[in-house]
Structure 1
Amino acid sequence: MPAIDWEDPFCGEGANCFRLGTDTDGNAYIAVAGKEDAPLTDTREALRALIRDIKTGKADHLL
């Protein structure tokens, strides 16, 4: 696995924490905090799109 530069954890209510990371090859990663050895991987643009969609409320139905 390439070296991943992880951001500080984002934690919601009830301590549901996840981390975002990137590598030098242009990949983006999302992992549950403490489980960084098993991340989901996609492109940075896909991660940007996911974050934009979450901010606009497109994932609110999942909550």
Structure 2
Amino acid sequence: MTEISWEDPFCGEGNNCFRIGTDSDGNAYIAVAGQEDTYLTDTREALATLIRDIKAGKADHLLP
């Protein structure tokens, strides 16, 4: 099993908190804080773009 190193949670204005993680192979992960066993994985660049869009309010419809 891949060991994921999670960063501190990023919390938006509501109760939506996300965590970004990476592994030793350079893969990136994103998960809802507290539910790190259920995550999405993609390239670090793709997830960074997603986070920037969420912060910019472009992806509010994706928030749980």
Report the TM-score when normalising by structure 2: 0.73
Letter in 2 for 1:49: T
Flag the structure with higher helix content: 1
Long gaps (5+) in structure 2: none
Q: Deviations over 1:7-48 (max 9, x none)?
A: 100111222111001111111000000000011001122223
Instruction: Among all aligned residue pairs of Structure 1 and Structure 2, give the percentage whose two residues are the same amino acid.
Output: 79
Over alpha carbons, which structure has the higher Rg? 1
Whole-angstrom CA distance in 2 between matches of 1:21 and 1:29:
5
Deviation at 1:58, TM superposition (A): 4.6
Q: Number of aligned pairs? A: 62
Long gaps (5+) in structure 1: none
Letter in 1 for 2:25: D
Mapping of 1:10-25 within 5 angstroms? 10-25=10-25
Report the TM-score when normalising by structure 1: 0.74
